């Protein structure tokens, strides 16, 4: 069942990517159609393969849909609806990809409704799964990060402040844990891009600093170097930096205490809020980053 969940989770990820693209301005929003079609085709192929439904190289996209409905009917399960809407989605995708014809905003919204509801129906009618139970989060190997993301999702509706905090922790520990696992036996990190300057600003230097101009200079240099270090590290990890920028605009970085062993603190107002769309983006970015780091993971021998 794990391989089925994995493929369904990836299809759900494509659906959510489509949802994100659908709200962009035209014609960029058209990309959503490609994600929706790919996601549904992925699930159709999964069901056909898993249920041993016979197809051949000439079987069309819509015939996939009809064969799955035939299997559902024979198995006395609820058949899928929205066939006419699926035909329209397919035609819009063909017009876009092969003819360069862009869909209208209304077309995209209808396709969004079709894709999301069909995916939900496939999960429920074929596998008796609630789409909330399907997530690529289960593929994240870092148990601490996985725990933070799950807690964020569970608390989103009742405590968005806590959800934002746990999302902030997730990226922080994902990066720190990955880097710490790559240190040599001498404690050297291949992702070292300069010393930590957190406590080397004018405030911590105190009486050693004289003159407002000198303090301003030190603080600006400190902030500039820290920003460059973070940017280079994200790029060195192979993570999408543009998405990282959006993530950071939505989710503040945590502040670390001087004492070790204490979780960092995220400075947020008591009524901190984040929209469902932005929250989903952050969760998807964390999943993307986690899988990217796992894609090329390696161990460092620390034997003497």
pLDDT at 273: 94
Q: Look at residue 110 in the predicted model and tell me its pLDDT.
A: 97
Digit-coded pLDDT (tens) for 132-162? 878 888 888 899 999 999 999 999 999 999 9
Most confident of 15-19, 179-183, 291-295: 15-19
Mean pLDDT value of segment 44-61: 92
Cα 304 to the chain's mean position, in Å?
Answer: 39
* 2-134 CATH: 1.20.120
* Structure confidence at residue 212 as a pLDDT band (50, 70, 90): low
pLDDT for residue 180 is more than 70: yes
Q: What are phi and psi of 260, to 5 degrees?
A: -85, 160
Helix (H) or strand (E) holding 110: helix 105-127
Mean pLDDT of the chain: 84
Domain ranges of the chain: 2-134, 139-191+237-304, 192-234
* pLDDT the model gives residue 198: 55
Residue 214 has pLDDT above 90, yes or no: no
What are the distances in angstroms from CA 88 to CA 26, 68, 94? Answer: 19, 19, 10
Give the pLDDT confidence of 248-270 residue by residue, as tens digits.
999 998 987 655 567 788 989 98
CA 134 to each of CA 7, 46, 74, 159, 183: distance values in angstroms, whole numbers, following the listed order: 10, 15, 26, 22, 34
Mean pLDDT of 212-218: 64
Q: For 84-110, what is each residue's pLDDT tens digit?
A: 999 999 999 999 999 999 999 999 999
pLDDT band at 197 (very low <50, low <70, confident <90, very high): very low
> What percentage of the chain reaches a pLDDT higher than 70?
80
Mean pLDDT computed over 289-301: 73
Inform me whether the pLDDT recorded for 219 exceeds 60.
yes
> Residue 48: pLDDT above 80?
yes
Residue 205, pLDDT score: 55
SS (H, E, C) 128-146: CCCHHHCCHHHHCCCHHHH
Averaged pLDDT, 206-235 = 65
Residue 50 clears pLDDT 90, i.e. is over it:
yes
pLDDT at residue 42 in the model:
96
pLDDT of 296 above 90: no
Instruction: Give the pLDDT score at 191.
Output: 45
d(CA 19, CA 23): 7
Inter-residue contact 198 to 258 (CB < 8 Å): no
Write down the pLDDT at residue 190: 47
CB atoms within 10 A of CB 134: 22
* Residue bearing the bigger pLDDT, 231 or 222: 231
Q: Do the beta carbons of residue 53 and residue 68 sit within 8 Å?
A: yes
């Amino acid at each position: 069942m794990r391989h089925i969940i994995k493929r369904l989770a990836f299809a759900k990820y494509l659906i959510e990517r489509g949802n994100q693209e659908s709200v962009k301005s035209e014609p960029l929003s058209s990309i959503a159609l490609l994600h929706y079609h790919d996601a549904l085709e992925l699930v159709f192929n999964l069901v056909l393969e898993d249920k041993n439904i016979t197809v051949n190289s000439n079987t069309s996209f819509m015939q996939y849909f009809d064969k799955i409905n035939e299997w559902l009917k024979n198995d006395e399960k609820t058949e899928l609806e929205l066939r006419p809407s699926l035909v329209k989605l397919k035609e819009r995708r063909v017009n876009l990809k092969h003819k360069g014809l862009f869909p209208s905003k209304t077309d995209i919204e209808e396709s969004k409704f079709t894709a999301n509801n069909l995916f939900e129906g496939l999960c429920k009618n074929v596998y008796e799964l609630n789409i909330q139970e399907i997530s690529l989060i289960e593929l994240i190997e870092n148990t601490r990060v996985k725990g933070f993301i799950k807690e964020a999702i569970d608390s989103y509706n009742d405590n968005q402040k806590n959800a934002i905090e746990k999302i902030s922790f997730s990226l922080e520990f994902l990066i720190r844990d990955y880097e710490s696992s790559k240190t040599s036996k001498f404690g050297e990190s291949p992702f070292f891009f300069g010393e930590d300057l957190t406590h080397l600003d004018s405030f911590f230097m105190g009486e050693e600093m004289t003159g407002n101009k000198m303090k301003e200079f030190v603080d600006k240099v400190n902030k500039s170097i820290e920003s460059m270090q973070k940017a280079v590290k994200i790029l060195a990890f192979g993570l999408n930096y543009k998405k990282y920028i959006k993530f950071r605009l939505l989710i503040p970085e945590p502040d670390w205490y001087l004492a070790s062993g204490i979780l960092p603190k995220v400075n947020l107002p008591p009524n901190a809020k984040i929209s469902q769309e932005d929250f989903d983006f952050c969760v998807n970015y964390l999943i993307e980053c986690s899988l990217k780091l796992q894609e090329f993971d390696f161990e460092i021998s620390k034997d003497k």
